[in-house]
Amino acid sequence: MKNIILEDTTKPTTDFEAIIFIIEKSRERAFQAINQELINMYWEIGAFLSNKVKTENWGKSIVMEFSSYIQSHFKGIKGFSHQNLWRMKQFFEIYNGNEKLSTLSREISWSNNVLIMMTSKTDEEREFYLIISSKNNYTYRELERQIDSCLYERSMISAEKNQLIQKKHSALASLRDSYVLEFVDIPTKHKEKDLRKAIIANLRDFLLEFGRDFSLMGEEYRIQVGNTDFSIDLLFYNRELSCMVAIELKIGRFKPEHLGQLEFYLEALDKDVKKANENPSVGLILCTKKDDTVVEYALNRSLSPAMIAEYKTHLPEKNILENKLRELREIMENYEAENIGDD
């Protein structure tokens, strides 16, 4: 009987995938170079217009003539409406003199730049959205959702409120103390399983809210301790933190006993599931309400990296969050002023 020699197709397939990777990276670099040149062009046009408005009193009528002239000279060209020319002027004037922000603005699309300019009030807010837009490669719609959900205000409030917690467990810096789940489309009165199912059904939107470094490991993830089975509502893996993130859903107000349950799950994950090269697991309790003082007391004695966060199923009001952030910063400034030299 002849020996049957099976053709090994592994290497060609691997080689093909390597070529695809080269092509994709090259296309990505080409797009980035083109986008950067486009933003540079808009910057120079914006500088030109800003100067003309200041020195020669150019107004809307002249800019409209300018727009028509450009479009007649370059037939079929887009992006040079008189409205967009005014945006170029505004773009230059906002970032001129701020090297850090002007550099960041070259890393994202023009449409995302315009969205940030139109919605952000301070350089700090602009920097925040420029960085996350570049880091996560947000589409216009994804960035718009993050801005509409007041991600900047929520992140800043969370950072102010959780400074001590995050000092104890640096991994918690990737988590916030509030999340907006407007995409779940469930009744105001709902059960935990309804929320869990809605999250799984809208996983893409959930990961946009939580971060793209999260990937789902399981729903009602089963762990066995002794002869008893337990299940974690949602278990994720975070690539940036190199650890598992256990999320427990609670309908209603946070109770201290919820934290004990979560700590038990984290211990089981670290002993029985965690790999040697991974960091200790992190936990998050997602509830509808929480008393910050109760949370503080519960976490003060906790050695586990855990966070308690609220979730809402509707978009928050920006002015309310802005006032809350202002109040928190004033409290922190007063606290620091009163405790200078106590360290």
Question: Is residue 29 domain-resident?
Answer: no
Residues 130, 138 contacting (CB under 8 angstroms): no
Question: Is residue 288 domain-resident?
Answer: yes
End-to-end CA distance of the chain: 84
End-of-domain residue from the set 131, 148, 165: 148
- Tell me: pLDDT of 343 over 70: no
CA atoms of 210 and 175, how far apart (whole Å): 8
Together in a domain, 144 and 193: no
- Least confident residue range of 23-27, 131-135, 267-271: 23-27
H or E stretch covering 250: strand 243-253
- Tell me: pLDDT of 167 over 70: no
> What is the per-residue DSSP string for 150-196?
THHHHHHHHHHHTHHHHHH-GGGGG--SEEE-GGG---SS--HHHHH
Domain coverage including residue 114 = 34-148
Q: What DSSP designation does 24 have?
A: H
Can you give the pLDDT at residue 339?
62
Averaged pLDDT, 279-292: 94
Question: Is residue 242 domain-resident?
Answer: yes
Residues 209, 178 contacting (CB under 8 angstroms): no
Averaged pLDDT, 5-34: 73
Together in a domain, 168 and 120: no
Can you give the pLDDT at residue 163?
65
Together in a domain, 157 and 143: no
End-of-domain residue from the set 87, 121, 148: 148
Please, which pLDDT band fits residue 340 given cuts at 50, 70 and 90?
Answer: low
Together in a domain, 295 and 324: yes
Read off the tokens for 295.
């949370």
- Tell me: pLDDT of 169 over 80: no
- Tell me: pLDDT of 5 over 50: no
Q: What is the pTM of this model?
A: 0.82
Can you give the pLDDT at residue 338?
64
What are the counts of helices (DSSP H) followed by strands (DSSP E) for the chain? 14, 6
Q: Could you read off the pLDDT of 228-272 as tens digits, one per residue?
A: 999 999 999 999 999 999 999 999 999 999 999 999 999 999 999
- Least confident residue range of 13-17, 46-50, 228-232: 13-17
Please, which pLDDT band fits residue 4 given cuts at 50, 70 and 90?
Answer: very low
CATH value at residue 248: 3.40.1350.10
**Residue of 250, 247, 239 lying closest to 266 (CA atoms):** 247
End-of-domain residue from the set 148, 175, 207: 148
Q: Could you read off the pLDDT of 183-215 as tens digits, one per residue?
A: 998 988 899 999 999 999 999 999 999 998 999
Residue bearing tokens 């070529």: 19
Together in a domain, 234 and 259: yes
Report which of residues 75 and 108 the model is more confident about: 108
CA atoms of 132 and 143, how far apart (whole Å): 9
Can you give the pLDDT at residue 102?
95
Quick one: 300 exposed, middle or buried, by C-beta within 10 A (0-12, 13-18, 19+)?
exposed
Residue bearing tokens 């890393």: 107
